[in-house]
Chain A
Amino acid sequence: MSKPSSAELQQMARATFGRELSERQAEAYRGRLPTMVKNVERLQQWAKRLGDTAPAQVQRMLGAAGDD
């Protein structure tokens, strides 16, 4: 698979994340940005089946810390 060009990376960042990339950023993010774009696309697909699900709760209320 060929690596995306800087112009393609800049287009991805703009379209998916609303960000403008410098040349340094485009070069530094080359390995990760395409995967992040896919992650966001997957989230959008999965969002259709979330219904009324609340977020996972892994933190606890102050004062209730440790209650099981």
Chain B
Amino acid sequence: MSEALLRIQNLDKSFFGVKVLRDVGLELHRGRVLGLVGENGSGKSTTMNILGGIHQKDGGRIEFDGREIAPQNSREAQALGIAFIHQELSLFPNLSIEENLFLDHFPRVSGALPFIDRRRMRERAKAALGLVDLDISPGTPLGRLAQGERQLVEIVKALSREARLIIFDEPTTSLTARESERLFTIIERLRGQGIAIIYISHILGDVIRLCDDIVVLRDGQVVAAEPTSALHIERMITLMVGRTIDHLFPERTTKPNDDRAALSVRGLSQPGTVKDISFDLHRGEVLGISGLMGSGRSELARIVFGLDGYESGKIAIDGAELPPRSPRQAMERGLAFLTEDRRGEGLMMEASIRDNIVLPSLPEHASPFLHFIRASELGGLAQKMAEKVHIHARSLDQMAVRTLSGGNQQKVVIAKWLLRRPSIFILDEPTRGIDVGAKYEVYKIINQLVGEGAAVLFISSEIEELIGMADRIMVMSRGEVRGFHDRAHFQREALMRAALWD
């Protein structure tokens, strides 16, 4: 076996006296892909941040290309040939692709003058974009590109700096299925060129498919480092959470109620987003909506909840029509909406847990006179809801939700709706970006709600999740319904094919 490109040994790191990494070690060879998995807080990001020069190690040894390194900042790491592609991309949407690529090393007209050689920059950018099959004019403003294309630009940027190791941190969270496929092809190609890759993701299926070796971290320690062939998903999860989750999805014993539909949508159309959507959602039922980003699934959710308008069609709750464009009315009729954008739309990140939980319920707990809030009554209810969904926090009113983990933040969103005792839940990507343990808890909460007679519309881009949780799956593509699949006939390929319909 050849000499390793990267060798990490006995890495230690503490933050504020808390040890977050103990004795972490791993090895990576040229032209191989290493998967790094673990729950949030298991030390994946810290390890990578040390490698990328963002944090400094307390102890241990990092060898890169046979030399010991200790990058003090991201610039030093880049100079060594280590590129870090973050979840949130570090590109400027207001600049063009080429300007983004050459931001810190613009080709100059001559060595002495501070003028950019636009023509040379264009040529070099074009050649570089060709490496990832991105056929777009380099002068296009980055803001006009789709998420997946921006990611490719970021990769090109890394390649233009002659990166020998590229770290991908959750690269697919904001990509559509097709964009992800494209990214995987590019990663395969980079591997063929002898570039080493570290791939971090919560989507274990992708990790297994893509990686040669997998390192599992738990509580800052390496609990497994094996070739992919020796691992399967169930075992990876067991290693990650340190306990056995018998099944990925908790068992549900209750059956949907076949009476009148709780939520009934007929012929719903809005030009440019959805076309002729019809479905019924019953009490005690989980109706999954599968579709790629841009298939109209989130737009449908927003219309049903009254956030956006529609041109034609009908939405009825328990047989009575729901007026359009009024979230307040929808809420009063028992609807709850968990959005896909937790940080941007679900929570007030700077406010406390309690203030977030009580927000939708304020009008019902205001006195008739001058609308003063009955704060202690609401506080008690918030406390109860927080306990019900097991939010792990020292206190409900001292900490900003910004400081919570993704899973806990999502539980705050769930709690804020539970306080209203809704009967119909629209859940748009409820498990996005949260770790395996928290996902399992969210599934359990969903089952509990359905068991108590709630109806759940479950939107997800993870097909396994829908297969595990839904009673029926409605597949959407290009704003239209492609078909319904019953639990008895769930088939991954058929669902995928329907979603990718062209």
User: Does A pair with B?
Assistant: no
